[in-house]
Structure 1
Amino acid sequence: MSTTSTEHGEREAEFIDLAAYQDPDTLDRLELLARAARDTARTTPAGIADLSTGTVRLDKEEGPAPLDQLDDEAGVLEVLDERDGWNLRRLVPESLTDMGVWRQRRAEWLNATAFHALRSPVYLWRAANVAALGARVGTRDAWSYLFATEYGQIADKVRRTKAGPEHIADLRADRRKESRGRRREPLTIYSLTGCSTYTGALLALGETWGWVMASPVLLPVFGVLYALGRRELIRRQPDGTFALMDAPDFTGAGVLTDEGLNAALRARNVGILKDGEEVTVRGFIAREPADKASVVRFDLPRSSGKTAKEVAAKREPIAAALAVDAIQLSIRQDGHEGGVYMRVADSHPFGGEPVPSPLETAESWNIWDGAPTFVDETGTITAIELLFFGLLVGAMPRQGKTFTARAAAAAAILDPTCRVIVADGKGGKDWAATALLAEAYVRGVTEPAVRRLTRVLENLVAEMEEAYDALFELPDEVCPEGKLTPEITRDHKIYPVVLIIDELQRYLEDEGKEEEDDKLTYGKRIEKALITLAKVGPAAGLIPILASQKPTGDAVPSALRDAIPQRIAHLCATYQMSDSVLGTGSSASGWNAKDLAPAFKGMGIHADETGLRFMRSLLIKLPGFRAICERGRALRITAGTLAGEAAGQAGRAARVGGILADLIAVFEDRKNPERLATAELLDGLAALDPSTWAPAALGVGEEDQAAYARTGGTALRKALDEALAETDRTLTVRSWTSGGRANGYYLADLRKAAGMA
């Protein structure tokens, strides 16, 4: 801004366009800031303008152009408020349009009606006492007025002053005169006439219709007497309050109110709020559909310095203050640290019969859609993410671990692209049906079973490395995050592997060894393999589903537990056991599986990266689980993915042929040497399947080892050719002595032919 001199010698303001001195980038930035400011102003009440007004911005035009000629180059007509989507609903308060709020009000009205109905005898007794007081007071006041009793009081005062008898006589005369005048007043006569008429009519009605029918006629009298009694109570206690009806008490009814919420947080054993402090409710308390619970979101007062975590840690005392079971109360952080979400259920959310799993009737399932495993406190069936997360279930015996693991595993069973490996430490029938489709099914904790599981897991580690090598070779466009995707599974046949181990602690406690001089026991080898698989395997599609009735550190190492971020704890014996499953400090935060009600089997606490919540596992009984496994087997046969023991073979090589799997199993039994002679392989095959590979089955004598090697070698070559005939793989022929393949085979060649390398 500068100034120039006028003809009168005064200085006149002159406008200087500062925009002319700015570079184009700065002008563009200022324009964007101005437009953002205008857009923000339009959303405020002060920014709402008339539809006919606006701001015209001209871009270096010499003069104003007609509105119909304004375009992007000439200028822009900016309307301050077009009121897009404006409707009457904006003028209606949210409390009148939110159905959840109306459900809450209906619940309050119904509970208030029930509360007052139950206390109606108390209210009637109070009203009768007040009316009786009104009758006494009314009779007293009427008598005092009609007979001028105030003169008697004056006469008493005069008598105490020892005045002469003539003064007392004058007062008595005045009293008689005044009382006669009052009794002759029209109002008195009308009142007495009305009362006598009313009494006569009441007697007539009583004689004609009966006193029960005539009783409503007494209501006006009762109302007048009640009003007189209430007035007398107020006169006696000017500073006191009287209420015929008590304030409705929703404690224990599951209907939350602002007053009840603040009172609960102010309770002595809660101590979240001090006297005089109140929370700020966001919006209104609402009811969920079907009137199952009250839901409120509120902010704690800043002066209290409290957080949502502190409120959640006081869940049990708050539940006691609200007179509900702790399981009925859900508390979590909502937004900022001082924001709280609270849900108060009307009754125990997991009462009644368990909910059947929808997978019992599902024809198939996609593991990428999660696994329906439990219902949460709202009754909603929850599908947990197994891929990249896995699942660890811990609890005391007979508290539903197997049911929960079974509900989660059913999703993988119904997905034909999932490879399933099962180890049942109990050795019962809980997982027997999975043998219909599992590549490996280990039952019990006998020495052969533990040894076999050890080799299966160590082979899985090797397969995991191979899967990572395959993912590494894929272009970034195909594998952008370096982990398995549905498209990779479909196009490159890298399948997710679901590893199910029930009663895990029994395998980890095994003290057996391969050889006496071995440094590691089978239990330690299993532990080492599981930790590797749980830590590294998820990105390659390894899904561990582990269940243990002793998940503490002395049975299941913390390195394994910590590698599985998704856990479920059913009833535990101690809070330490609960913390070992849910995470250290969960009990101190109000989530303790030790306090779960044992009457509700399958109830537990679910923990994942989003937090903790109560749950109850979906029910799949053994007949239904067997039907699921039968459908899973049929799906795999159709998709061509049935492999391993379920296909009558052993190991992953079953996808190519049983003989390859058997040969690799022989190598595994001999600690995977580089190569084995044909005679050694035939001895191992005879141990696996004597009906096919024993000397007698081949038609040679047991003593003639040369004939056995020749005949068996020929049969072995024929079996291998048949196994590879329908594939694009071949078995490379390499010999270390003269005589060709008859002398033996290399393990690497067998693995390559089986598609394992």
Structure 2
Amino acid sequence: MQMRQVAHRLVLGAEDDAIEAFKAMLQELLSEMERRFAILRELPTSVCPEGKLTPYIVEKYKMPFVFFTVDELQECFIAISDEKERKAVIDDMARIARRGPAAGFISNYASQRPDAESVPTKLREIITIRACTQVTDQTSSDMVLGKGKASMGADASVLSEDHMGVVVLVTGPASFATVKNDLLTTAEFNTMCAKGRAMRKDIGQLTGDAAGDVVTGAEEQGLRVPAIISDVLEVMKHSVRMYTRDLLDRLANMDEDTYGDYDAERLAKELDAAGVKRSSKQVKIDGVNGAGYQRRDVEGAVPFTG
């Protein structure tokens, strides 16, 4: 969630609105990738000798590296029931992974389920650098690291549950190593995001969702944003309006300890106390009216200084 401080686009969850936002993000990435390739094709070989980014091109033509990461990859594919739509998403991700590096795109895909359904073969085969934590058998290890890797010695099934943060890392057709990752606690990660935001603001690279994050913007001014406001905005991130029942479900899913016992009356009371002025208690979604909230009304309760 703290990536909202720096991410140009941040998609959380696997609900319908999140999946639509994810697909839109893919199209945005592809458009930017093609824009960059169009520029690279026009540059003389003296500036772009291999048709790829150089430090000079990055600075001169404003093409910063783009880190595209998808955690819990299987959730995306499971959530898309239409086979044609799923194939289109897989094709888009494969295209970014295959062609993107030359234009400064770095793809990072992670999944807890290494089977072909969770990580389709078309996508898996493009990924050349792979890392695997402890798995139960060599078959599972090969699913992640590549067919036949276990017999070559790259076998994550030999790791035990005590190997916290240790992975078998494959970096090429015949190269691998067993490495231990650095550990960032949640607090340290949040601090890193805040530092990253400050650095991006200093050089004018704060864009997209991060630039428009009203909650973080208020907190930067030293203003306190009620937790109920920031949490509701988080779960409504990809929807301009939402039924109360869906809002309650998502809040409980995000933090069951806090919101598990909430009902419509308590939610309304808490939001009213936090300063939310509802323009209407009814919202229309796909032509159907129901009790709900407009995101703009909740954003209106975020304190700010003029």
Residue 490 (structure 1) aligned with residue 59 (structure 2): yes
Task: Give the residue type in structure 1 aligned to 2:18.
Answer: A
Aligned counterpart, 1:456: 25
Cα distance in structure 1, aligned partners of 2:137 and 2:63: 42
The higher relative CO (CA closer than 8 Å, separation ≥ 6) is in: 2
Q: Secondary structure at the match of 2:28?
A: helix
Aligned counterpart, 1:161: none
Q: CA deviation at 1:688?
A: 8.5
Aligned counterpart, 1:529: 92
Aligned counterpart, 2:106: 543
Q: CA deviation at 1:563?
A: 1.3
Match of 1:615 among 156, 179, 182: 179
Structure 2: state its 5+ residue gaps.
214-237, 239-292, 298-306
Q: Secondary structure at the match of 1:498?
A: strand
Q: 1:688 to 1:562 in 2, by over 3 A?
A: farther
Residue 471 (structure 1) aligned with residue 27 (structure 2): no
Alignment check: 8 A CA contact 2:65 2:104 kept: yes
Q: Secondary structure at the match of 1:467?
A: helix
Aligned counterpart, 2:206: 642
Residue 447 (structure 1) aligned with residue 16 (structure 2): yes
Cα distance in structure 1, aligned partners of 2:74 and 2:45: 40
Structure 1: state its 5+ residue gaps.
1-431, 514-518, 650-664, 666-686, 692-757
Cα distance in structure 2, aligned partners of 1:561 and 1:604: 18
Q: CA deviation at 1:558?
A: 1.9
Q: Secondary structure at the match of 1:439?
A: coil
Q: CA deviation at 1:551?
A: 2.1
Aligned counterpart, 1:433: 2
Q: Secondary structure at the match of 2:197?
A: helix
Alignment check: 8 A CA contact 1:447 1:512 kept: no
Q: Secondary structure at the match of 1:607?
A: strand
Q: 1:688 to 1:470 in 2, by over 3 A?
A: farther
Q: CA deviation at 1:567?
A: 0.8
Aligned counterpart, 1:317: none
Alignment check: 8 A CA contact 2:130 2:171 kept: yes
Q: TM-score, normalised by structure 1?
A: 0.28
Alignment check: 8 A CA contact 2:154 2:170 kept: no
Cα distance in structure 1, aligned partners of 2:296 and 2:152: 60
Match of 2:165 among 592, 602, 609: 602
Q: CA deviation at 1:636?
A: 0.6
Match of 1:581 among 133, 137, 144: 144
Q: Which has the larger radius of gyration?
A: 1
Match of 1:507 among 76, 79, 84: 76
1:97-117 CA-partner distances (Å, limit 9, x unpaired)? xxxxxxxxxxxxxxxxxxxxx
> 1:52-451 alignment to 2 at 5 Å?
432-451=1-20
Q: CA deviation at 1:460?
A: 1.0
Q: Secondary structure at the match of 1:642?
A: coil
Aligned counterpart, 1:561: 124
Alignment check: 8 A CA contact 1:508 1:524 kept: no
Cα distance in structure 1, aligned partners of 2:33 and 2:171: 24
Q: CA deviation at 1:566?
A: 0.7
Aligned counterpart, 2:226: none
Cα distance in structure 2, aligned partners of 1:688 and 1:635: 33
Aligned counterpart, 1:629: 193
Task: Give the residue type in structure 2 aligned to 1:509.
Answer: I
> 1:18-29 alignment to 2 at 5 Å?
none
Alignment check: 8 A CA contact 1:567 1:608 kept: yes
Structure 1 runs of 4+ with >4 Å offset? 687-691
Cα distance in structure 2, aligned partners of 1:511 and 1:434: 24
Q: 1:458 to 1:572 in 2, by over 3 A?
A: same
Alignment check: 8 A CA contact 1:575 1:593 kept: yes
Q: CA deviation at 1:621?
A: 0.9
Cα distance in structure 2, aligned partners of 1:479 and 1:473: 9
Q: CA deviation at 1:461?
A: 1.2
Aligned residues: 221
Cα distance in structure 1, aligned partners of 2:296 and 2:13: 24
